[in-house]
Amino acid sequence: MTTPALISILLVDDERSLREPLAEYLTRQGFAVQDAESAAAARTLLARETPDIVLLDIMMPGEDGLSLCRHLVEARRLPVILLTARSEAMDRIIGLEIGADDYVTKPFEPRELVARIRSVLRRAERPAATPSEELLYEFEGWRLDPLKRRLTDSEGALVPISTAEFRMLRAFCDHPRQVLDRDRLLDLVQGREAHLFDRAVDNQVSRLRRKIESDSRNPHFIQTVRGGGYRFGAEVTRAIRDGDG
């Protein structure tokens, strides 16, 4: 019988007194752990192998955690849990906006971190495609592929979007022409206790508008509803995936 591969973790934190004991604890919990003291060291490790999840300190000398987080989310599609200090509330918001999956605030209980790791990995699992994922969303020439998380414009050009932007656009496509308030959007997009981060919705909508609107200041697709939230103004249809998807 083949032994299941261990879940691999990359721990990135410049504070040695936290990094090394935490790496030892996670190893005892059955994870395969590599640790790095900086974003540069993390990028070197990432060039050799890809972990299942990254635990990432925000405040580090040199390249900070938010910059590395953006790379991990947008270029590598890796789940990220931020390790933050209590004074870094705005950085936490920015991290969630650019696609981090969760955060823990220092000092934290290691058992809570393990629970969050397992929760994030469960959400990140890619099960066999459901019938809905075998279809494509189409709206006014645009096409969103839920399985490949790929967006193309009316001319067929690929439009890069982050994981967070993909989740937001899919939420709108699943509920076209419905008014979705911020709490509902946070629930659809993140599935976490995100009610403290209403601004994250507004900022994410602004980013998405810049990707899909011809004039983001006068949006056609993602319309603001005064006092109500947002509404996706286009008719959304489902198309059968072609041979290539």
Pick from 124-133, 157-166, 203-212: least confident: 124-133
| pLDDT for residue 35 | 97
- In this predicted model, what pLDDT tens digit does every residue of 229-239 receive, in sequence order? 999 999 999 88
| pLDDT for residue 243 | 53
- In this predicted model, what pLDDT tens digit does every residue of 159-199 receive, in sequence order? 988 777 888 899 999 999 999 988 788 777 765 444 345 56
Distance in angstroms (rounded) separating the CA atoms of residues 56 and 11: 6
Pick from 97-101, 128-132, 165-169, 210-214: least confident: 128-132
Write the DSSP string, 96-141.
HHTT--EEEESS--HHHHHHHHHHHHHHH--PSPPGGGGEEEEETT
| pLDDT for residue 1 | 45
**pTM for this model (two decimals):** 0.60
